[in-house]
Structure 1
Amino acid sequence: MTKTDTAKNDAFDLQDFLPYLLNRAAEESSLEFQRAYKDRYGMLRTEWRVLFHLGNYGEITAKEIGERARIHKTKISRAVSKLELRRFLTRTPSERDRRVEHLKLTPAGKAAYRELCGIARQYDAKLAAMFDEDEAALLRKMLQKLAEMR
């Protein structure tokens, strides 16, 4: 075996590295949906994720969103401020703990959430259509397992 052959065998194939592939797939598959929330509402990724958590769970705290979405508290704080400026959510201080605020969507926030949910459902179906039904179900199952591996 030559030095070149050994180097090829010892080389790390980034293109086949699972975390790299997952990241690329996530970036590529989210681009079209990203355009929807960015073009329509000027939102960034963390903002739409906060909006969707409020739409799904109703009135919750920023800390609860961070725990569920695994987003750092400073990113959530910035997203909450921007969504509040757009009048998509309200903050109500907790009566028990002044450091805690309960977040809730406004009618405008609910309307944005409903519109983006429809777009998200259509886009999800478009992505799933790249696979047969069994493949799509297996892909969801595997990704859920990876997402919960802590």
Structure 2
Amino acid sequence: MVSNLLALNRDWKIRNLTDLDPREMRVLINIGSYMPVKSADIAYQSRLDSYTVSRAVKKLLSLNLIESHQDEIKKNVKNLYLNEAGKALYLELINAMDERSKQLESVLSEDEQAVFFDMLARIENKTEALLAEQASEFIKEGLDAPTDQKELIRWHKKSNKKPN
């Protein structure tokens, strides 16, 4: 319920900052937070499927909020950056979201926040593992997995890669 209440397009203050859909806002925020960043990294970090990220990137490019430049090492890869208009919108969105976060976090002590974020991380990890395991089982049964299910498996493997 809380995540539905906090949806970016439901928060009137955030919605008034831009006409972007939540998907484009999430991708713009991810680019601003990690630029230069590749679309595949955005998909992994935000757990959005690659098709959704691709659509958002196309829209942000058409609105002239981001730029795409060829990677210097991997020539077939494009890195995404915010341009000046994108940076300005990113700062507005981040400031509004930070203000909202501070207000929400004020109901918890620092210790409660630490416990809460630990629990959320464990639930996220378990959810990812559960979905990846289910998808793997269906693939073992011979079913053709949709792209989003293949990505769940890949994300889970990437998240749980053991250091050498």
What TM-score do you get using the length of structure 1 for normalisation?
A: 0.73
Q: Extract unaligned runs of 5+ from structure 1.
A: 1-23
Alpha-carbon distance in structure 2 between the residues aligned to 1:133 and 1:147 = 21
1:36: Cα distance to partner? 3.6
- Is 1:46 aligned to residue 23 of structure 2? yes
Note the alpha carbon deviations across 1:62-119, whole angstroms, 9 max, x for none.
Answer: 0111111111011101111111122110112346343x32111101111111111111
Bigger-Rg structure (1/2) = 1
Alpha-carbon distance in structure 2 between the residues aligned to 1:92 and 1:32 = 29
Q: 1:35 to 1:77 in 2, by over 3 A?
A: farther
Q: Contact (CA 8 Å) 2:17, 2:92: kept in 1 or not? A: no
Q: Extract unaligned runs of 5+ from structure 2.
A: 130-164
Matches within 5 A, 1:1-150: 24-30=1-7, 34-94=11-71, 96-98=74-76, 100-149=77-126, 150=129
* Identical residues among aligned pairs (%): 26
Q: 1:85 to 1:38 in 2, by over 3 A?
A: farther
Q: 1:79 to 1:34 in 2, by over 3 A?
A: farther
What TM-score do you get using the length of structure 2 for normalisation?
A: 0.67
> What's the Cα RMSD here?
2.1
What is the identity, as a one-letter code, of the residue corresponding to 2:104?
A: L
Match of 1:12 in 2: none
Alpha-carbon distance in structure 1 between the residues aligned to 2:30 and 2:24 = 10
* Higher helix proportion (structure 1 or 2): 1
Question: What count of residue pairs does the alignment treat as equivalent?
Answer: 126
